[in-house]
């Protein structure tokens, strides 16, 4: 059974940093691109970042470029999102999601999400 | 970025009703469209991809259609467990983008 379990969310002050993790199991992690998608309270889904299966290629939404870093450790089956210079508008539930098996660009499995609260 | 516009933003329906949700892209996306269902406090769940292909395990009352810029999600007979928010997502170009969501509520 495919499982994605996020952790690392919490309360952080504006300007602070946080690292999210997503532990994967039930599939060959190193074969799939992975993504982060976020959802602000009461709002819709916003695409954040992606990383290729071997980690050699990454993508960032303009809203987080230069502040967030996506990475992965295929030996640990874990995806990361290092978040810096956090702003109030970064407050959201952050989901990790698996790229579809055809690598078309939709998301066939999602984690349960981890909440990031940015507040002083 | 491709803009995705869903309509309506919300709707009220009864169990057994046929429900249709529309998603319009700001440019043609060649059927590169997925639909997700999200219940409160839960992660989105993939329902359909390639505009009309049902994800494994998803009930057949869900169907999708469309082409070019205009796509629809249809629930043929609404069930109690279908009350949720539905999102479309294009994957024709990077970045993937989502519609704003359609909340399906109980009438």
Please answer yes or no on whether A106 and B46 come within 8 Å at the CB atom.
yes
Residue length, chain A?
120
Two structure tokens written together for A7: 């952790």
Min CA distance, A31 vs chain B (Å)? 19
pLDDT tens for B44-58 read 999 999 999 999 999
Average pLDDT rounded to a whole number, residues A72-80: 98
- Cα A46 to Cα A10, B40, B41: the distances in Å are 19, 17, 16
Instruction: Say whether pLDDT at A116 is over 90.
Output: yes
Instruction: Say whether pLDDT at B21 is over 90.
Output: yes
Residue A103 — pLDDT band, cuts 50, 70, 90?
A: confident
Residue B16 Rama label (left phi>0; alpha psi -120 to 50; beta):
left
pLDDT tens for A1-46 read 999 999 999 999 999 999 999 999 999 999 999 999 999 999 999 9
Of B32, B42, B46, nearest to A108 by CB-CB distance is B46
Average pLDDT rounded to a whole number, residues B3-32: 97
Mean residue pLDDT of chain A comes to: 97
Please answer yes or no on whether B96 and A110 come within 8 Å at the CB atom.
no
Instruction: Say whether pLDDT at B107 is over 90.
Output: no
Residue B42 — pLDDT band, cuts 50, 70, 90?
A: very high
Please answer yes or no on whether B44 and A95 come within 8 Å at the CB atom.
yes
**CB A98, CB A34: distance < 8 Å:** yes
Number of H helices, E strands in chain B: 0, 11
**CB A3, CB A68: distance < 8 Å:** no
Instruction: Say whether pLDDT at A102 is over 90.
Output: no
**How is residue B16 annotated by DSSP?**
T
Contacts of B101 in chain A (CB under 8 A): 44-45
Mean residue pLDDT of chain B comes to: 97
Instruction: Say whether pLDDT at A68 is over 90.
Output: yes
pLDDT tens for A37-57 read 999 999 999 999 999 999 999
* Percent of chain B at pLDDT exceeding 70: 100
pLDDT tens for B76-97 read 999 999 999 999 999 999 999 9
Q: Choose the mutation target among A44, A59, A99 for the interface with B, i.e. most B CBs under 10 Å.
A: A44
Instruction: Say whether pLDDT at B106 is over 90.
Output: no
Residue A115's pLDDT is what?
A: 98
Instruction: Say whether pLDDT at B17 is over 90.
Output: yes
Residue A80 — pLDDT band, cuts 50, 70, 90?
A: very high
Residue B94's pLDDT is what?
A: 94
SS3 content of chain A, % helix, strand, coil (to 5): 5, 50, 45
């Amino acid at each position: 059974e495919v499982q994605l379990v996020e952790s690392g969310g919490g309360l952080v002050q504006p300007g602070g940093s946080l690292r999210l993790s997503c532990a994967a199991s039930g599939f060959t992690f190193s074969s799939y691109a992975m993504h982060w998608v976020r959802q602000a309270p009461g709002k819709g889904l916003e695409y954040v970042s992606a990383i290729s299966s071997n980690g050699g290629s990454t993508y960032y939404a303009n809203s987080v470029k230069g502040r967030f870093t996506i990475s992965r450790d295929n030996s640990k089956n874990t995806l990361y999102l290092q978040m810096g210079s956090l702003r109030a508008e970064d407050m959201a539930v952050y989901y990790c999601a698996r790229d579809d098996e055809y690598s078309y660009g939709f998301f066939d499995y999602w984690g349960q999400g981890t909440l990031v609260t940015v507040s002083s | 970025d491709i803009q995705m516009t869903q309509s309506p933003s919300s709707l009220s329906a009864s169990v057994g009703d046929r429900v249709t949700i529309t998603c319009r892209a700001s440019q043609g996306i060649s059927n590169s469209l997925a639909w997700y269902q999200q219940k409160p406090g839960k992660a989105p769940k993939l329902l359909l991809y390639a505009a009309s292909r049902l994800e494994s395990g998803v009930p057949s009352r869900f169907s999708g259609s469309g082409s070019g810029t205009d796509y629809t999600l249809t629930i043929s007979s609404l069930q109690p467990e279908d009350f949720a928010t539905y999102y479309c997502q294009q994957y024709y170009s990077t970045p993937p983008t989502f519609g704003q969501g359609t909340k399906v509520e109980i009438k």
